[in-house]
Amino acid sequence: VQLQASGGGLVQAGDSLTLSCAASGGTFSSYGVAWFRQTPGKEREFVGSISGSGDIKHYADSVKGRFTISRDNAKNTVSLQMRRLKPEDTAAYYCAADNRVKSFSEWYRFKNQYNYWGQGTLVTVSS
């Protein structure tokens, strides 16, 4: 499966922004999808994930209550709605997907479990 992330930009603190991840190839509904983010010199960190069916979602504590992940399997897209953005949310955001057999809850937060990655989309939040 090929992934393409989009929607990044420059916003002010408190604003909202929605990122999109468009997939092509494969049976998209069988893939768990996650968003990770990375700033220079730091490890890529987990932000949120959604199971293939969309019924299981997980969020990092730092974004819980502000970010919402959703998917439309008919359109092969996953969205990350980000609200009340903070300067510390500034990062390159990456979507990732995989379709491992084992339970999604066992691997959703580990970046080394995802074989398919989109290019990053940069989000900059000014104070």
User: Based on the number of CB atoms within 10 Å of its own CB, is 45 exposed (0-12), middle (13-18) or buried (19 or more)?
Assistant: middle
Q: Is the pLDDT of residue 84 over 90?
A: yes
* Half-sphere exposure for 85 (CA within 13 Å, toward CB): 23
CA distance 34 to 79: 10
The pLDDT tens digits of the residues spanning 51-78 come to 999 999 999 999 999 999 999 999 999 9
pLDDT-derived band of residue 103, with 50, 70 and 90 as boundaries? Answer: confident
pLDDT-derived band of residue 105, with 50, 70 and 90 as boundaries? Answer: confident
> Residue 10 in contact with residue 126, Cβ under 8 Å?
yes
pLDDT-derived band of residue 104, with 50, 70 and 90 as boundaries? Answer: confident
CA distance 22 to 44: 20
The pLDDT tens digits of the residues spanning 11-48 come to 999 999 999 999 998 889 999 999 999 999 999 999 99
Q: Is the pLDDT of residue 50 over 90?
A: yes
Of 117, 127, 115, 111, which Cα lies nearest the Cα of 47? 111
Name which residue leads in pLDDT, 101 or 62: 62
